[in-house]
Amino acid sequence: MGLPLLLATACAQPAPAGEPQASAPPAPDLTQFHDQQLAFEPCAPYATTAADEALFANERLECSRLQVPLDYADPEGPRAEIAVMRMRAKGERIGSLVTNPGGPGGSGLNQVATSGPGWDEMPIAERFDIVSFDPRGVGATTPQVDCFTDAEDDRGEGFNGTLVPEDVVDEQTARTIAQRCADSVGGEQALVNIGTRDTVQDLDVLRVALGDEQLNFLGYSYGTELGAVYAETFPHNLRAMLLDGAVDPELSGAEFTVSQAAGSQGAFDAMAAQCTSAPDCPLGSDPARAVEAYHALLRPLQDNPLPTTDGRGLSYESAATGVFAGLYSEATWPIVLRGLSEVADGRGDILLALHDLYAQRGPDGRHGSLIEAFRSIRCMDWDRRTPAEQADQLREVREAAPIMDDGTPITESVHECAAWPEPPSRTGPFVTGDVDVPPILVTSVTGDPTTPHQGGINLARTLGGTLLTVDGAQHGIALFGQSPCVDQIATDYLVDLTLPPADARCSL
């Protein structure tokens, strides 16, 4: 976790009496970026996956590219191009509602293309242009990070998709990873400028280029962190901010990962309790032994992957990632259980399909950028761990989530970011609570397995915002069309800036 970047707005500390007062560095001149005119066009050329090719054909969608400095300390230097998607308001327009789907590494273009038809039936599509973007390192934006080939990802040689620390065997391997990631984005300068602090700056340039005096923002999961950093960096540029599924500002990156592991275990336990009370449960009939039954199903895949229709086979890593992805929502638990039953019968298609959905692997073999962008962005956001701390992290993850224990000995490994060209660009918590920000609405689901509810409580308190608690078991809820109670409160806030009572509560 880290402090927001307060470029040129941070005041210098007072000099001791009798010494000259130091002056803050001058703000970079971003006029050329603020004055740019976005040229919107059909979105087909912006698709980077087979799934996006179909989604982006929607005529309601239009796309453009936003020019931003690669390094905000050098606005005259190389540039990045941020891919932007817009769905125009159908009625009396308030402004743009900029969204972020989370990750970090999630594609905002894919989010709008996927959720747009549902949002089109809601009042927000009447009053706002729905806008999102692929952050640095992601999707159709350049630079895009692509550290491993599709074939390497298929063989399990890339970054893993769970909360288990990466198993980097030595420093030379770490140097190779860093070099490959740097080469994929065009060099070290690009690699060290794709952290959250840089995306926050891009978000404000986008606000101006869209013609909005103030930002309206909807952030999910990691998008709550991005939004919170923006709020403290540019408080006067903010009109409304809805943060859903909050990253906990009181936890370090390592602590947050362990809290996510505990949340995933809680979801597994709840799924197992439902399953073991019914006949033919692949986890048996005793919820206390469900984890043991789970390991009995999956651990043999370490040596003997299961056959799948496409011939790739289901490895242990792919199966574990598929289960992890399926725990995000109670609605997908039955799919996980069918996948586990299929494993018991000697096949792996269902869990492999869940893995592929999470890893953004299309039927043509192309992988999306989510997992590699996640690791690369966090390399600039989170502290790096020593080999001993890596081992401690793995031990803590396994203790918090026994389902993530693959049975292998815990050994020291090198942190995946150990050879990154520069240290993280921030330290400490990502927000401080020291900056007055406009009223913010935080929504949090009590049984969220990925961003546990306490994070929503803590983020709302830190920002001085209002918390809407939602009883249920899934990751994210605002404007999903699943809870009229939540969607009405969200709409009232975004459109009219009307906040609910401090004790407001909805349910799924």
Q: Kindly state the helix (H) or strand (E) to which residue 130 belongs, with its residue range.
A: strand 128-133
Beta bridge mates, 133: 84
Beta bridge mates, 137: 144
Other Cβ atoms closer than 10 A to 200: 24
d(CA 421, CA 80): 19
- Helices then strands, each counted (H, E), the chain: 18, 9
Alpha-carbon dihedral angle through residues 294, 300, 306, 312, given to the nearest 10 degrees: 110
Reading the block at residue 55, the tokens are: 């989604």
Give backbone dihedrals phi and psi of 109, rounded to 5 degrees, phi first.
-65, -45
Can 167 be counted among the known catalytic residues? Answer: no
From residue 254, alpha-carbon distances to 45, 63, 75, 215, 325 in Å are 38, 37, 33, 31, 20
Residues in contact with 497: Cβ distance below 8 Å, sequence separation at least 6, in sequence order: 239, 240, 439
Residues in contact with 503: Cβ distance below 8 Å, sequence separation at least 6, in sequence order: none
d(CA 23, CA 11): 8
Q: What is the DSSP letter of 29?
A: -
Q: Kindly state the helix (H) or strand (E) to which residue 238 belongs, with its residue range.
A: strand 238-244
Residues in contact with 69: Cβ distance below 8 Å, sequence separation at least 6, in sequence order: 28, 30, 33, 75, 77, 78, 79, 80
d(CA 40, CA 23): 41
Can 221 be counted among the known catalytic residues? Answer: yes
Which position among 96, 221, 318, 413 bears the catalytic label?
Answer: 221
Question: What does the DSSP assignment read for 405-431?
Answer: --SPPP---B-TTTT-SS--S--S-S-
Beta strands in 149-234 (DSSP E): 215-220
Can 444 be counted among the known catalytic residues? Answer: no
Whether 104 contacts 374, CB under 8 Å? yes
Q: Kindly state the helix (H) or strand (E) to which residue 190 belongs, with its residue range.
A: helix 188-191
d(CA 238, CA 229): 12
Which position among 154, 448, 453, 487 bears the catalytic label?
Answer: 448
Instruction: Name the residue type at position 398.
Output: R
First and final C-alpha spacing in the chain: 31
Residues in contact with 291: Cβ distance below 8 Å, sequence separation at least 6, in sequence order: 268, 272, 402, 403
From residue 334, alpha-carbon distances to 322, 342, 352 in Å are 13, 12, 15
Whether 115 contacts 83, CB under 8 Å? no
Which position among 132, 475, 483, 487 bears the catalytic label?
Answer: 475
Give backbone dihedrals phi and psi of 231, rounded to 5 degrees, phi first.
-60, -40
Residues labelled as active-site residues: 221, 448, 475
